[in-house]
Chain A
Amino acid sequence: MKSFAYYPGCTMKTTGKAFEQSAFAIAKVLDIQMREIERWNCCGTVFSLTIDDTMHHMATIRNLVRVEAMGESEVLTLCSMCYNTLKRANEFISSDPVRLSELNDFMYKEDLKYSGHVQVRHLLEVLRDDVGWDALKAKVTNPLEGVKVASYYGCALVRPEGAGVDSLEDPTVMEDLVSSLGAEPVQWQSRLECCGSYHTIGHKELVFERTERIVSEALKAGADVIILSCPLCEFNVGSRQPEVAEHVYGFKQIPVLYFTQLMGLALGIDPKELGMDDEAILKLIREKVEV
């Protein structure tokens, strides 16, 4: 069994519950142990881009101190934005002894000093590099034959260079995952496009436009479902669809799932344990596969 410190991030406990629930369900089947960090705090969700802003990395790095306090050396994340923020802050702080000691000075109340040696991993990486596609295939009891899946990466999983789980412009990890589940990955245009992110609060018209484009491209490519790995993308590309339909004449909707939910269906896990109470999605998948 492979063991990780698990960093949930703020949204896994609220609107992203289904992501966490389905991740734990598939981790159990795949013999991955996820131990939630005690007293974790929000990572800040966005990596501060200015170089003189060390304070803004403190909340992020504090979580890594706690990973070390658990005796773990790798921390697993589900959310793309947490992954991006933790990974980049870790790299930024740990690569410079001056910054690292400055930050440790700020965190003088922690029991430990941060060594700079924690590795930040995303579940998709672990599936590819630690579990392996063949081992995953061997666990599939309900191959999702005939289900056409559009993998949506968005920004934080791949950009910028060096911060992603895969190649910057031509990632394949999600498509490889889809194939391993017996489903069919579709080739489509908008998989690396931004969903509008936090502008969902102040400029939802921007998000509507983006969602309209992303969803239409997926449908045009023949997809039955979009999978993704970020609770903010899910809100924008998934939950916002009915509103987009009100604004854009002729807009057609498409089910959106976390990749862990799609995996769970292929691994024969009860949809209720995957946080899937959406009958429409299940009906669509049931039409193709007996779940």
Chain B
Amino acid sequence: MIELGTHTKSRRDILDKVERISEVDVFSCYQCGRCSGDCPSINLMDILPNQAIRLLQLGEVELVLASKTIWICASCFTCTSRCPKGIDIARVLEALRQVCLRKNIDELDLNNIPEEERERYPTIAWVSALRKLSG
């Protein structure tokens, strides 16, 4: 069983950084679930956007950083636009991606894209995928 809710120094440091570079106070979330209800990508996520925020509140930074969720979010800003507390969830998820990418942990491995598919993708897809998913 995972024990939740321990705020060690290193966890606190990462959380501070996420809050600083996203300019979001994750503790203002009151867990209404609206963000997850409207997110179009939840089918491929392992934790819901509101759960990601809750886990951050509890200090479970590693769980969130290791989730699929932060990479599946495509910054569509639906959650951001509708959060009744004005929380920019898309920015929090970007900050979490940045924490990984700045350590050179890439999500997109071009070797996994079949050669015959590579040629047909529009430039705009390449540029945005590489900017979002690699450092």
User: Shortest distance in angstroms between B56's beta carbon and chain A's nearest beta carbon?
Assistant: 16
Chain A 15-52 interface 0/1 with B at a Cβ cutoff of 8 Å (1 = within): 11000000000000000000000000010111011111
Chain B neighbourhood of A48, CB < 8 A: 94, 131
Contact check, A79 vs B124: say whether CB atoms are below 8 A apart: yes
- Partner among B22, B74, B113 whose Cβ is within 8 Å of the Cβ of A198: B74
Chain B residue at minimum C-beta to C-beta distance from A85: B128
Query: Which of A142-150, A189-197, A252-260 is near enough to bind chain B?
Result: A189-197
Q: How far is the CA of A196 from the CA of B19 in the complex (A)?
A: 26
Docked-complex contact A201 and B121, CB < 8 angstroms: yes
Say whether A264 faces chain B, with CB atoms less than 8 Å apart.
no
- Interface check A202, CB cutoff 8 A: yes
Residue from B21, B43, B88, B132 within 8 A of A52 (CB atoms): B21
Interface residues of A in 206-255 (CB under 8 A from B): 206, 209-210, 231-232, 235
Q: Please state if A194 and B127 are interface contacts (CB–CB under 8 Å).
A: no
A52-B21, A155-B77, A206-B72 given; A198·B40 CB < 8 A: no
Indicate if A199 sits at the interface (CB-CB under 8 A): yes
On whether the beta carbons of B127 and A50 are closer than 8 Å, the reply is no
Contacts A81-B128, A197-B128; A50 near B78 (Cβ below 8 A): no
Cα A159 to Cα B38 in complex, Å, equals 14
Bound: A14/B124 CA distance, A: 10
Q: A46-B75, A159-B77 are in contact. Are A210 and B124 (CB under 8 A)?
A: no
| Residue on B nearest A13 in the bound complex, by CB | B123
Interface residue tally for chain A (C-beta within 8 Å): 43
A273–B40 Cα distance when bound, in Å, is 37
A131 interfacial contact with B, CB 8 Å = no
B67 part of interface (Cβ distance < 8 Å): no
Given known A161-B81, A193-B40, A232-B124, contact A202–B21 (CB-CB < 8 A): no
How far does the alpha carbon of A205 sit from the alpha carbon of B88 in the complex, in Å? 27
Chain B residues with Cβ under 8 A from A9's Cβ?
A: 124
Which residues of A have CB within 8 Å of B80? 159-160
A11 close to B (CB within 8 Å): yes
Report the Cα distance A198→B108, complex, angstroms.
11
B68-115, CB < 8 A from A: 72, 74-78, 80-81, 88, 90-91, 94-95, 98, 107-108, 112-113
Q: Is B133 an interface residue (CB 8 A)?
A: yes
Minimum C-beta distance from A50 to chain B (A): 4
Check A282 for interface membership: any CB of B closer than 8 A: no
| Contacts known (A160-B80, A168-B81, A206-B72); A50 close to B95, Cβ less than 8 A | yes
Q: Within 8 Å of chain A (Cβ to Cβ): is B2?
A: no
CB distance from B25 to the nearest CB of A (A): 14
Give complex CA distance A114, B132 in Å: 27
CB-CB nearest in chain B for A196 = B74
> A45-B127, A51-B22 provided; 13 other pairs, C-beta below 8 A?
A44-B127, A49-B75, A52-B21, A53-B21, A159-B77, A159-B80, A160-B80, A200-B125, A202-B129, A202-B133, A203-B72, A231-B124, A232-B128
Which 3 pairs from chain A and chain B are nearest by CB? Answer: A194-B76, A159-B77, A198-B129
